[in-house]
Structure 1
Amino acid sequence: MTAKPHTASAIHHHGEQDTIIFARSGHGTIVSNNGQTRQSLSPGDFALIPAWAEHQEVNEGEEEVEWVISRSGGVPVVVNLRGWGEGTVG
């Protein structure tokens, strides 16, 4: 995944799939816990996003962020949400 500067993903979860992120380059943030928890990732860092955990990937910096993402399961699941704790997008 490559995130351009000053961008953010939709708030989402990955259903029953656990997700592991490896930060390859740049400095980004995983936001979770209803927007209250921020985990900064620098090159070489890993993050675990448990199944069903609502989260958002954020790049607030001036450089692109490149993350390698691995999920359990054969077909990737992404469920975009309207907001923290809100229903799925149409």
Structure 2
Amino acid sequence: MAGEVQVKKGSDINTPSGAQTDGMIRMNAITDLSDQLCGTVMIAKPHSASNVHHHGEEDTIVYAASGYGAIVWGPDGSKRQELAPGDFALIPAYAEHQEVNDSDGDVKWIITRGGRNPIVHNIEGWGKS
């Protein structure tokens, strides 16, 4: 039997999600409703970067809703991919990475993860998980 459709109004998306970093605002959207998926919103303020982190066993899909940001990953943060509005990115489970906003405006990403609630493990630097 199918479950009920759940809706979260944009005006109600304001609960902090996971570990917070200065300049990075993470908010729960759809969490604790499905055993397989959760959704959050991440806003990166101008000239900010997250801590190096990973999302445990959860694969992560990023949709760049607005602004121009980047994902840094790889050995010692040696790889970088710019994301523009409309772009998608897949961050595999346990992949160490960092979100970066070098621009003068906010970056807004819509995040979907493969788990009931979002997992964020901040680490002390590349390769220190």
TM-score by length of 1: 0.94
Larger Rg: 2
Say which structure is richer in helix: 2
* 1:28 paired residue number: 69
Structure 1 residue 60 corresponds to structure 2 residue 102? yes
User: In 1, Cα distance between the equivalents of 2:55 and 2:85?
Assistant: 23
Q: Which runs of 4+ in 1 moved over 6 A?
A: none
* 2:126 paired residue number: 84
Q: Identity of paired residues, percent?
A: 60
User: In 2, Cα distance between the equivalents of 1:71 and 1:16?
Assistant: 10
User: In 2, Cα distance between the equivalents of 1:15 and 1:51?
Assistant: 6
User: In 2, Cα distance between the equivalents of 1:86 and 1:15?
Assistant: 14
Higher relative contact order (CA closer than 8 Å, sequence separation 6+): 1
Question: RMSD value over aligned CA atoms?
Answer: 0.6
User: Which SS does the other structure have where 1:76 is aligned?
Assistant: coil
Shift of 1:75: 1.4
User: Which SS does the other structure have where 1:82 is aligned?
Assistant: coil
